[in-house]
Amino acid sequence: MIIATSVVFAFLVLIGQLWYLQVLEGGRFLDASDKNRIRTRPIAAPRGILFDRHGMPLVDNRPAFTLSLIPRELPRDDESRDAVLGRVASLLHIPYQDLTDAVARVPSDSLLPVRVRRGLTLAEVAKVEEWKLELPGVITEVEPQRVYPTSRFAAHLLGYVREANDEQLKQGRYRRGEMVGQSGLERLLDEYLRGQDGGERIEVDAMGRPVRRVQATEPHAGAQVITTVDRGIQEAAERAMEGLAGAVVVMDPRNGDVLAMVSTPAFEIDRFTGTIDRDAWLRVVQDPNFPLLNRTIQTQYAPGSVFKIIVAAAGLQEGSLTPLDRTYCNGEFHLGTATFKDWKEGGHGTVDLHHAIAQSCNVFFYEAGLKIGGGAIVKYANAFGFGQPTAIDLPGEKSGLLPRPQVARVRQGRTTAYPPGETVNMSIGQGTVLVTPMQVARFMAAVANGGVLWRPRLVQRVERPDRVVWSDQGQVAGHAELSPVVWAFLRQSLWAVVNDNGTGAAARIPGLDIAGKTGTAQMIAKSKAEKGQDHAWFAAFAPAKAPEVVVVVLVERGGKGGQVAAPIAKKILNAIFFEKIAAVEIAG
C-alpha cells in the first residue's frame, strides 16, 4: 500500500507538472523555443526614385552589403562578447567603441539586427564569412543604398539620407536603423520615398546558420517623384561653377519651375549617407567655405546693380523718371560732405535712362533714387517679392531685407522718411538691401513674363504604379503691376545690356537674344586679403522676346559681374539652347 500510494503520488506530481508546463506555461515556452529556432529579419524597402522632368533619374538605388549585429545571438558573458566585437573591429577596421555603443543602444535579448556599417566591400564581406563560425551574432545583409551621378550632384537640392537619429526615434515614426531623409527633397518627401519594409522568418540551426525560410513578406518600394529639374541643365550649371563659391538658379518664367539649383562648394552626399566619423564631420562643419550652406536660399547678399531694374521701374511707373531724362556722369556724386563713386573711373559722360541701365551708370541712379524717393523704391521692391520668402519647398529659406523708414523731426512733429544717404545707397542695390539668389530669379522671371510672381516649384507629382498620390500644378504668389510701355522699355534696356555695348557683353551668344543685368556688390572686407573682392551677379532671361528660361548667377567675392558672372551664364545658356544655336549657325 505504501509503495502503491507513493507511485500514485509521484504520477500525480508528474502529471501536475506536465499540465503546468504544457497548459499554463506552454505558450511562453513555445515562444522561447521559436526565438531560439526562428530568426525574424526585416527587409528594407527600396526608397523611391527621384526623376528629372524628362524621366532621367537624379538619384537611384543599388544593392549594398551591410554589417549587422544581433544582440540575442552574441555571447552572453562579457569576455566572450568582447572577444567577438574585438575580432570584428580588427577585421574591418571599425573602432571598437562604435561596436559596443551600437549593442548598448538596444536590449540584450533583441533579435532585430543592429546596423553597424553600410557599404561593405566584397573583400570585407569575405572576411566576415571566413570567420563566420567564430563570430556568433554577426551577419552581413544586402540592402538598397542610394547612388548618385556624382558625389556632389545637386547636393543641396536632393539632400541626403541617414539612419534615424535619437530625436527622430523619439517621434515614434521610425525604427532604429531605418534610413530617413535628413535634408533637401529627401527630407521634404520622406513619407512618400520611404516605402513599406518587408520581413522574413528564417529557421536556423544551433550554430545560427539558416536552414529554411518559414515566412516572407515582400517590401513595397517608395513612390516615384517627378521633379521640375532638368538634369542636363543642372550638370551644365555645376560644371560652370566648378572651383567657385556661389549659386546658380535656372527657372522657367512661364510657371516658376526650378530647372536647376546649384550651391557651391557642395558637400559629398555619399559621405553623409554612409558612416562618417567625428573628425570627418567636424571638418565639414568647420570648413570656412560652408559646404553645407544652401546659398540659393539660405544666404543673403547685396544685389548690386541688379536692383537698378527696380529703381527704373518705380521711377517710370510713378512718373518720377522718363526715358528722356539725362545726367552728366563724371564718376562722382556729392551729397553734402559725402562722395559716392561710379564703378567706372572718369564716368560715362552724358547718359539717358536706357544707356544708364545698359552701362550700369551709378551716378545716374544716385540722382534718380533721390527723385523717386526711398518709399517708392521699397514699395516696388516689395511688389517684386523682395523682403519676403519665396515659399519654396525647402527648409531654412531667408526672407531678405529692405530698409525701413526712420523717424525724422519736422516743424509740426515727427514723420517717417528714408535718409538721403540710405536712399542713394539703396538706388544701386547697396546698404541695407539684401536678397537671395532665388528671390532674384523669381524677380527676373516676373520681368520676363510681364509681372507674374510664381512660387518656385520643385516637384511636379508623386506617383505610385497605380495612381498619382500628390501633384502641384504651380501657384501664383503675386503680381507686379506696370504699364505695358514700362515693361517694353525695361526689356529693351536689358537687351541692350548684353547686345548693345553694355556691361553684360560677355554673355552674348550669336543666334540667341539674351536680356540681362550685371551687378557688382561691394563687400566689407574682414582682412586686407579680402579687400576689393566684390560679389559678382548676372541675371538674365532668354530668348528676349519669348522668354523660356531665367538664369541667375552669383559668384562670391568674384569681382565684377560682367567679367565673372556673365561668362558663366553664357556657358549655361549655351548648354540649354545648344540645338537652337547650332541650327542658326548652320543656316548662317
Domain at 118, CATH number: 3.90.1310.10
Query: Which pLDDT score, from 0 to 100, does residue 274 have?
Result: 62
Query: Which pLDDT score, from 0 to 100, does residue 409 have?
Result: 52
Q: Judge contact between 247 and 296, C-beta under 8 A.
A: yes
**Which of these, 368, 351, 369, 367, lies nearest to 359 by C-alpha position?**
351
Same domain assignment for residues 100 and 246: no
pLDDT in tens, 74-83: 888 888 888 9
Q: Give residue 95's pLDDT band: very low, low, confident or very high (50, 70, 90).
A: confident
The residues that bridge with 334 in the sheet, in sequence order, are 339
Instruction: Measure the CA–CA gap between 203 and 79, rounded to whole angstroms.
Output: 28
Q: Judge contact between 46 and 193, C-beta under 8 A.
A: no
pLDDT in tens, 190-215: 999 988 888 777 777 655 566 777 77
Q: Give residue 523's pLDDT band: very low, low, confident or very high (50, 70, 90).
A: confident
pLDDT in tens, 57-70: 999 999 889 898 88
Q: What is the CATH number of the domain that holds 333?
A: 3.40.710.10
Same domain assignment for residues 219 and 117: yes
30 is a domain residue:
no
Query: Which pLDDT score, from 0 to 100, does residue 491 have?
Result: 96
Instruction: Measure the CA–CA gap between 305 and 309, rounded to whole angstroms.
Output: 8
Which position has the higher pLDDT, 22 or 472?
472
Q: Give residue 486's pLDDT band: very low, low, confident or very high (50, 70, 90).
A: very high
Domain tally for the chain?
A: 2
Q: Give residue 530's pLDDT band: very low, low, confident or very high (50, 70, 90).
A: low
Same domain assignment for residues 236 and 123: no
Give the domain-ending residue among 180, 207, 227.
Answer: 227
Q: Give residue 15's pLDDT band: very low, low, confident or very high (50, 70, 90).
A: confident
Same domain assignment for residues 250 and 372: yes
Same domain assignment for residues 205 and 235: no
Query: Which pLDDT score, from 0 to 100, does residue 587 have?
Result: 59
Query: Which pLDDT score, from 0 to 100, does residue 173 have?
Result: 76
Res 264 pLDDT > 70: yes
Same domain assignment for residues 184 and 251: no
Instruction: Measure the CA–CA gap between 539 and 324, rounded to whole angstroms.
Output: 25
483 is a domain residue:
yes
Q: Give residue 588's pLDDT band: very low, low, confident or very high (50, 70, 90).
A: low
12 is a domain residue:
no
DSSP character for 405?
A: P
Query: Which pLDDT score, from 0 to 100, does residue 230 have?
Result: 97
Which position has the higher pLDDT, 381 or 277?
381
State which of 19-28, 56-65, 455-464 shows the largest mean pLDDT: 455-464
Res 97 pLDDT > 80: yes
Non-local (6+) Cβ contacts of 123 within 8 A are none
How many residues make up the chain in this entry? 588
The residues that bridge with 42 in the sheet, in sequence order, are 199
Query: Which pLDDT score, from 0 to 100, does residue 554 have?
Result: 98
Instruction: Measure the CA–CA gap between 518 and 565, rounded to whole angstroms.
Output: 8
- Burial class from Cβ neighbours inside 10 Å (0-12, 13-18, 19+) for residue 55 reads exposed
Res 416 pLDDT > 70: no
Same domain assignment for residues 335 and 461: yes
Q: Judge contact between 99 and 89, C-beta under 8 A.
A: yes
The residues that bridge with 161 in the sheet, in sequence order, are 181
Nearest 5 degrees, angle CA 328-CA 329-CA 333? 110
Same domain assignment for residues 187 and 326: no
Same domain assignment for residues 299 and 169: no
Query: Which pLDDT score, from 0 to 100, does residue 471 have?
Result: 93
| Grid cell for residue 142 | 544586402
Instruction: Measure the CA–CA gap between 477 and 377, rounded to whole angstroms.
Output: 20
Q: What is the mean pLDDT of residues 472-495?
A: 96
Non-local (6+) Cβ contacts of 542 within 8 A are 512, 513, 514, 515, 548, 549, 551, 573, 576, 577
Same domain assignment for residues 330 and 393: yes
310 is a domain residue:
yes
Query: Which pLDDT score, from 0 to 100, does residue 77 have?
Result: 85
State the amino acid at position 76 in one-letter form.
Answer: R
Give the domain-ending residue among 183, 209, 227.
Answer: 227
**Which of these, 446, 423, 571, lies nearest to 507 by C-alpha position?**
571
**Which of these, 431, 427, 422, 308, lies nearest to 359 by C-alpha position?**
308
Res 248 pLDDT > 90: yes
pLDDT in tens, 442-458: 999 999 999 999 999 99
Q: Judge contact between 74 and 122, C-beta under 8 A.
A: no
Average pLDDT, the chain: 88
Give the range of the structural domain holding residue 466, as residue numbers without chain letter. Answer: 231-587
Same domain assignment for residues 543 and 398: yes
Instruction: Measure the CA–CA gap between 313 and 388, rounded to whole angstroms.
Output: 19
